Amino acid sequence: MARQQDGSYVISTHREITDVLNDPHLSSDVRNLSGPLPSDEPPSSFIHMDSPEHDRLRRLAMRQFGPPHTPGLVNGLEGFLTATVGRLVDGLADQERIDVVDDFAFPLPLAVTCHVLGVPREDEPRFHRWVHDIMDSVDYDPATDPKEKRDRGVRAREDLRRRLGELVAQRHGRPGHGLLSRLANDDGPDGRMTDADIVATAKLLLVAGHETTVNLITNGMLTLLRHPDVLRRLRDDPDLVVPLVEELLRYEPPVHIIPWRAAYSDITVGDTVIPKGSQITLMLASGSRDPDRFHDPDRFDPDRTDNQHLGFGSGIHLCFGGPLARRETQIALTELARRLDGPALVADPPPYRRSPVLRGPVRLDIRQGGKCA
């Protein structure tokens, strides 16, 4: 851990990151920072809230998204996931040169999330454009980028919020397929989500969940192409994909940094007392390569055991979409390994996004030796 000149703290070891993420005195609400706020807007989705409101909203979301109330959701998507991956790989069959990001990794989680939410098929092209513009604006640099890039992102956020709100309003009293409908009509023990909370949860899945899955798939394909022996193993042994994806989450995670947390009160981390209100930055990727926790941490090893990585975080904010992202990536990498013909990188390293938080190539060009099998 290191104190920075601005008074904030950076934590980078596995043990200390895990301890902090499970410390009830740590806040995810920006309003608990003692210094200038990163944003003037109040928290929207529950990942930026603290207990008890975070816990209530997360329980409401999980009632419709996973165990114990809907334990079969991910398994029930198996056919859709397989068919969607197959369709996208089919589209690569006649291409000698492929951009894994635009041609495969970007459209896959978007199609899956729209299906999970119950977004009408005719809306999907608009959702694709909005998510693209939002993610493109994340890397906005006023010194080099045209102002239109930022403006497109602002408009896309508003258009996405407005359309999701319309869809939620249409679902009231009309239970049916999709998470939007189930949340709009659920009267469980914690009450019902407001329409604004449903929209915020849907945006979380569409934007934050989408980008992390894109990066996980793209980082995975890049890592496999850099380790051709593992790529061959996966082609011959599809069961390898389960520990392989866990190792990817440790070795090349889609989220490298949690850029801030705030201390509710003075907390002790190691031998250091962090004052109340201090900004805390958590270096997840560093923690997952901590030599005190992982043997030979800079080696990609899909046979690694006891792999308690930080790829999906830890504590009460553990990524609630993690099981779906895992399965998407498992199916995606298995099919790419099986069906691409002699894939090779066009450039290594590929161009990366500028964001220090979300780690992944902005494009990943590969060549095929021939057509897909």
The DSSP string of 219-237 is HHHHHHHH-HHHHHHHHH-
- Beta pairing class for 279-282 and 9-11: parallel
The CATH fold assigned to 2-37+48-367 is Cytochrome p450 (1.10.630)
From first to last of its 373 residues, the chain has per-residue pLDDT tens of 788 888 889 999 999 999 999 988 888 887 888 766 555 455 578 888 888 898 999 999 988 877 777 778 888 999 999 999 999 999 998 899 999 999 999 999 999 999 999 999 999 999 999 999 998 888 788 888 899 999 999 999 999 999 999 999 999 998 888 999 999 998 878 888 999 999 999 999 998 889 899 999 999 999 999 999 999 999 999 999 999 999 999 999 999 999 878 888 888 888 889 999 899 999 999 999 999 999 999 999 999 999 999 999 998 888 888 999 999 999 999 999 999 999 999 999 999 988 888 899 999 999 997 444 4
Contact yes or no for 262/282 (Cβ under 8 A): no
- Using CA atoms, how far apart are residues 313 and 236, in angstroms rounded to an integer? 32
Looking at residue 373, its pLDDT comes to: 45
- 122-131, long-range: CB < 8 A, 24+ apart: 123/163, 123/167, 126/159, 126/163, 127/160, 127/163, 127/206, 129/156, 130/156, 130/157, 130/159, 130/160, 131/156, 131/160, 131/206, 131/207, 131/210
Looking at residue 370, its pLDDT comes to: 47
pTM confidence score = 0.92
The DSSP string of 298-341 is TS--TT--S----TT--GGGS-TTHHHHHHHHHHHHHHHHHHSS
How does pLDDT run across 269-325, given as a tens digit for each residue?
888 899 998 999 999 999 999 999 999 999 999 999 999 999 999 988 888 889 999
**What are the sequence ranges of the domains in the chain?**
2-37+48-367
How many Cβ atoms are within 10 Å of 334's Cβ, its own excluded?
A: 21
Looking at residue 191, its pLDDT comes to: 86
